[in-house]
Each structure stands twice: as C-alpha cells, then as structure tokens.
Structure 1
C-alpha cells in the first residue's frame, strides 16, 4: 500500500503532546519568560513580608508573576505590578522567597534568586504614656503642642493627637511636637497624645492639654452641610428618609455626620475609604406608618474633632411622593 506524506503542521496539530510540536516552524522551541531580577523581601510586621522585584520587558510578554515561599506558591500578581505583601506568617520565623514569570500561553520562566526575610517576634507590649504635654493657641486657627517622648521595648513608630475621642493628627515617632491646624476661632479644645509602635500597640492617653483659640472670623454657617434636602420613599412595606447635601468646605475631609430627627440625635454615619467631596447622600429607616411628619437636620464632625453647625431643617411626611 502506498504511503501518503503528512505535512508537519498537520502532524503537530494531531500530536500536541510531542516535543516536536513545541517547536516553531524554524525548529526552535518558543522562548519562556526570563528570570525576575532585583528581588527583595523585607518583614513588614510580625506576620507579613513585603516582596518586590523588577518588571520584565521584552518577549514573550509576561501575564502574571508567581511568588513562592519555599516550594509553595503563595501569590499571583498581574504583570503590571511588581510587589506583594505575603501575610499570615509566623512571628520570629525566617522565610525564603522566589519569583517566577508566566506568559499568556502558560509557559513558566526560571525562578529568581532566593531572598530571605525574618519576621520579628510578636510584640504585645504597648508604649508608655507620653508625658508632660503642653500647648498654646497660635492665632485663631492653630495650636502648638509639645510632649515628652514615650518609651517602648522596641520603637515608637508614631504619635497620634486626639481632640476629645477623635484622632485628628499624626506625626512620626521621632517627633515630640506638632502644630494642629484647621481649628475654629474662639473655640475651646482639649487635646491628648497617644504613642503607637510598629505592631500597632497603642499607649494610654497623655494628660489633656486645654486651650482656647483666639477670636476671629468664625466659620459659622460655613461649617454646616449646604444645599440640604430631604424626601421619603417606600420599599418593602416601610418608609425611608432620603437625605442629600454638600459637605462643608473645611481644611480637611469630613468623614462623619450626625442626623437629628425631631430635635434629637437619631443616627450617625461614617464614610469609609474616600468620603464624598461633592454631593453626598444617605437613607435611613423611618417606620411603616404613612402620614408621619418628621423634622430632620444634619451636622458634620469637622477635621478638628468638633461638631460643625447644623444644616437647615427640613420637614418630610412619610407617604408623600412615595
């Protein structure tokens, strides 16, 4: 019987698992990604390590980077990134990391050089209380604060300044003085300072520093939410009050608001992440009965830790318009 020659391309299409099919038309095996360079590893805490490397360029394009702890893969990172935090590690333990690149066809390049990082031992000891706090008003909108350094069994990472129960400022652990700005004229303040270490242990609060800013052109109505509006809607057999407003223009971001209903504090809301700078909105439960007339106002907690002025009062009735 006469044999019919089979073209090499068809043969490769039928026998994908043979080594011959892994070669291109010129007989060369397709290249795999290169070796990641510049790999470093540094402990970020007692339970995490920050691994970094240089991005690979050239052919073939990298699809993902694979990060290994010892022989086990612990992370996959997209090609446009070149760092990752490896978490859930043990305190006081040495780890070895390598990085490999993988292309879009699944080819995995050689491992990088090994890098080693040791997590510090667990730190459950808080810094001591900052001592001898002093303060003075600097004009009508700022205050200068000083304190004695706290001590820690390792190192104080930062100092945090509180106005009442609200953190309003933070400085590095090497600083024992700061200027707090964005205050209101003619306003009495009480500040305390707490020390924080690298393990996020927080010291007790220092003694309080009490001072009053100088009189001046107060912010007044400018601290109130502007263009405040209220309406109602019905959903799931209940009524809700819908609020919209423009945040007050201050020296910092406003993250917390208090809603007053019929003259009393009803609820508060705190924006996580990036709080709105333009129009904000909030909706809250108002009951199941129609025809309920309610008065509502809103105020913001300002970056200096004090409450701003109340918005204009709006009156809504459940069932009207929805």
Structure 2
C-alpha cells in the first residue's frame, strides 16, 4: 500500500486561501441558486465520499476546508489518510450537517480531492514500474498555476519525490542558458561564482561530450535530456558515481522501466502533474432525521 511520507506537509494558510478563492469563484455574487431554491433551510443530511476507481488518495485537507469554510458546523471525517490506496467503492470520507452546506461545498471539495488524488495515483504507477531499480520518480515545474504546492504534495503522497518548487530553489542550467552563457564550462563557472553555499547546481546536457565537460568542471546533478537507454547507460559509466544523474524527456509508462534500468538516479516526469486524470470520486447524500 502506498503511504504518504512522514515529512508530507501542506501549509494550512495556503490551503485556506486556495479553497476560499475556489469557493468564491463557484458561489459568485448570488450563491448556490439551485440549493437555495430547492432545499429547505435547516434540513439535515449526511454523505459519503467514495472512490469509483482504484487509486491513491491525496487532498483531504482541501476537501475538508471546503466544507469548513461554507459551514464550520459541518462534520468531515476522513476514512483514510492521504497516501492510502483505495479500491473502487472504498469510502474516503463521511460528512454530515446542514444539507445546504453539504451541497454548496460538494463540487469544490471534490475538485481538489479528485485532482490531487489523480496525480498521486499516476505517480504511484510510475513508482511501481521502477521499484526494482535505484531510480526515484520526481516531478517538474509543469504544474497548474497557483496550485504547485498542492500538486507536488500529491506527488509525494504517490511515493514520488519533488524537484525544485520554483526558480529560487536551486540553479538549473538549461540548454538556452548554456547557449547564452557561452557553453557548459562558462555557465557552470558563472553559477558556482553566484551560488550560495546551500544552493545546488544542476545542468542539462543532451550529448556525452557535454557530460564529460560537466564531470571535469563539477556539478551536483546532471539532467540527461532525451537520451535513449544506450546513451543513458554510457552516461552512467562516464559519471561513475561522481554526480547524480537525472533522466528527462520522452518518459511515459511504456518507457520508464527501460530508462530506470540504465542506472540513473532520478527520472523526472512532467506528466505526473500536467497529464494526470482526475480520480473519479463521488459524493452520495442522504437525509437524516
């Protein structure tokens, strides 16, 4: 079973801000017209949130916050933890309280929970595909604007690891940086001169002669861009453990196993966050006395 790492953390201030903005978008100027028209005030209800697919759960804190912000009196009880594997029909959470509140919070809560659980579920599939190797699956910055912290959290819930969160985390010298800086050596020397003592330096290469330059010049990590497996194996041989190797480009569930078996340390997969399907979750409501 996939389990969320003990270091998994979501900033509660960001959770509240994101959910507040989502509810504001949904409720608009006049509120939930359908619920206000159809449901009598004071009617009580309970509901079950259940998975309709096999997957890994992530985002319970955001779902809980959707109901809390609509109505602090709503009771939201998670049946599993983030990082838990669930089968079709599994209960993920139970909610109870004012029926109007449950109905008005439902979509925003499920949107966050389904989106993040979809990312965690896809990540878990990649992690399982390379479990027999040393390679770790990591994400990229190809995330939904303003939702990066949550989507990267979901990757961790699926057993993956995070690449940098933003441009201020680390130095990652890409091909365009190299071109403008005047080459691999020039870019690395400039980076080293500017980097603080806790800032790591990674550089992207797509040829083995560039890798040889990096090995001589020194870096923390090398991103091996769009290299086929035979070239990746040669890169592992050339690096000889002197720096971490990250494979990137052309990675999917059909190719990731062969990439991992070359001996690279990490495999970055943009699809984890930009192409994950939403995990199908539903909320079924019933009235209470």
TM-score class normalised by the smaller sequence: under 0.3
Larger gyration radius, structure 1 or structure 2: 1
**As a proportion of its length, which structure holds more helix?**
2
TM-score by length of 1: 0.22
- TM-score, scaled to structure 2: 0.24
